[in-house]
Homo-oligomer: A and B are copies of this chain.
Amino acid sequence: MPGPGRPREFDRTSALDAAVRVFWRQGYEGTSLRDLTAAMGIGRPSLYAAFGGKEQLFRAVVARYRETEMAYVRAALDRPTAHEVAEALLHGQLDALRRPGLPAGCLSVQGAAAVSAGNAGVAEFLAAGRLAGEAALAERFARAVDEGDLPPGTDPAALARFLQVVLEGQAVHAAAGVGSADLARSAELALRAVPAGGRRRRAPR
């Protein structure tokens, strides 16, 4: 139901999805407003009216990316055991990387890896998001220790950090052009660091 005034001629979400792909492929600083308006099919003033500017658009893009491309993360945390959580994360990422027609790698990792001084805030924003994901994972693993699902003595924070490091490394590797099949074999090695099934394995020391 449009209010008064001329109605917007584009769909905000479709335009946002187009911006996701551009920022994903080219990073924050590698993307110009010309790239964005061309991909989104809108004029520059429309972009400013709808999203506020380049940086605000980027933040909206990251939020959208997390909702769509990283939906597997939320689902993974709900798995019943720590090992299944880790498995769902690693496999979910591999599935996400396998999708055709999308840029390689991960927007959150490569979107603002290193930036000029003026855009340091953007890099910090992405880094904080990744560390928040790690913290959520650590909390989940701490619960697993409480539940006896992970062996007592397990350091949940260290395990979460290890897993997050692997996920980030896989993203870097995927961006370099390595395919999901090859990444799956290294993911399998990583998965062994997470004790499986009740108390049948020894605790990591």
Contacts and interface: CB of A to CB of B under 8 A. Distances in A.
Interface string A169-205: 1111101111000110110111011000000000010
Contact of A193 (B109, B165, B189): B189
Contacts of A190: 162, 165-166, 190, 193
Interface stretch (A11-19, A30-38, A64-72, A143-151): A30-38
A131 B158 CA distance: 27
A84 interface: no
A81 interface: no
A114 B116 contact: no
A16 to B, nearest CB: 18
A117 B172 contact: no
A181 to B, nearest CB: 11
A83 interface: no
Total copies of this chain within the assembly: 2
Contacts of A139: none
A188 B158 CA distance: 9
Contacts of A185: 155, 157-158, 161-162
A45 to B, nearest CB: 23
Nearest to A193: B189
A127 interface: yes
A60 interface: no
Interface stretch (A1-9, A21-29, A49-57): A21-29
